[in-house]
Structure 1
Amino acid sequence: MTEFTTLEVDDRGDRVVVTLNRPAQRNAINAEMIAELHTVCARIEADPKLLLLTGNGDHFAGGADIGQLRARTRDDALAGINRTLFDRIGRLPLPTVAAVSGFALGGGAELSYACDIRVATTTAKFGNPEPGLGIMAAAGASYRLPQLVGTSVAKQVLLGGRILDADSALRAGLVIDVVEPGTHVAAAHQLLDRIALSAPLALRLTKAIVDAPGSHPFADDIAQAVLFETEDKHDRMTAFLEKKK
């Protein structure tokens, strides 16, 4: 898709592979990348597919573009430029996987937090050093990271400046697996291959229910009622029973 300049976008039928493509800047997230990611989201919303998000080169994303960030004003902050995008990624209908190598810092970390699952290499480092630059991690880290790793670890990262290496991220539950550098995209594809075997509507409703705040047993019942009436459910259970025979 040649219209993108900060991304490489590969539509593979059941999934879209998006590679952040500013390797000389450690894939720093600038305004153009934000706009292009919004375009990708619009396409996935219109035609729901799985998403694999990764970075070109040694790093996932070293943060937001500091030159642009320095120029932002109060009105820019109130517009939630990065947060709006990351929230949109978080709301995509089907599962999303981030394949992270090297730095996932600042806005890059928050972008990875917006994905449903993360695969990391042994070189991965997650952190939010924004207070050292006089700002806060305001693109979702304050509410996503505590949900992902617990409040204590989140405060260590957001307030204490802790950088989570791959092993720490695995122990904290931030990542599903740690693999060798150069194999993380293949590992993410293997995970998506497994996910793709499931019923798309079941995945979509499960994600919506899990992401909904609070306790919602009646919503679970309604979602299950919808799934019980699908032809896909009947066919899959029939195939299972016949295979068991």
Structure 2
Amino acid sequence: MSSVWVPLLLSLKVAAWATLLATVLGVAVAYGLSLWSSRWCDLVDAVLTLPMVLPPTVTGYYLLVLLGRRGWLGPWLAERGIELVFTWQGAVVAASVVAFPMVLKAARAAFLDVDHRLEQAAAVLGVSPVAVFFRVSLPLAARGILAGVLLAFARALGEFGATLMVAGSIPGRTQTLSIAIYEAVQAGEDGYANFLVLVTSATCVVALCLAAWLAPGANRLRKARSSP
């Protein structure tokens, strides 16, 4: 039974850290893009959203080129004792990269939906830009951001290709749920694979239902459907 819970707990740890990283970076970048009026804005958004549409193995290859021992940043990280390839931290990096667009798209839409007159009124009253963000913009966009965060968690929990490329499949160390399912199917352990599939599916369904409930406009849609 311990072999069942090890990949589950590892996946939850990886997904939690990946979601945290994706949330911090995604909200910051989304807020900046919502304030940036430029013809290049959509291009930057498209580039940052690439991990959502690229094959996961391609994203994993890019990460290896960047973080591998012979990659662009690999030697610099190695000199400082930081090793990401074939570690659970590397799995976090891979999962956060593929989950980042979920937060970015949801947060940007939420910030664009904020009434900017409220932000301007706060600025006129002498509130600093940082305080305007934390006291006005972020609370008003919180519901949409949280929906994106839940989607990012579900995406990070089910990540396979990029994680396998960067972290490998080391039981107890880097073998997440999705990788454990793949290994179980390859080994013919159908009962083990079925249990992991059910756990993963149930967790993702809960996250998706919460995200749908929290999505901007969801309450208005429910009221419209319930009204005669």
**TM-score, reference length from structure 1:** 0.27
Report the TM-score when normalising by structure 2. 0.29
Normalized per residue, the structure richer in strand is 1
Whose radius of gyration is greater, 1 or 2?
Answer: 2
Indicate the structure with greater helix content: 2
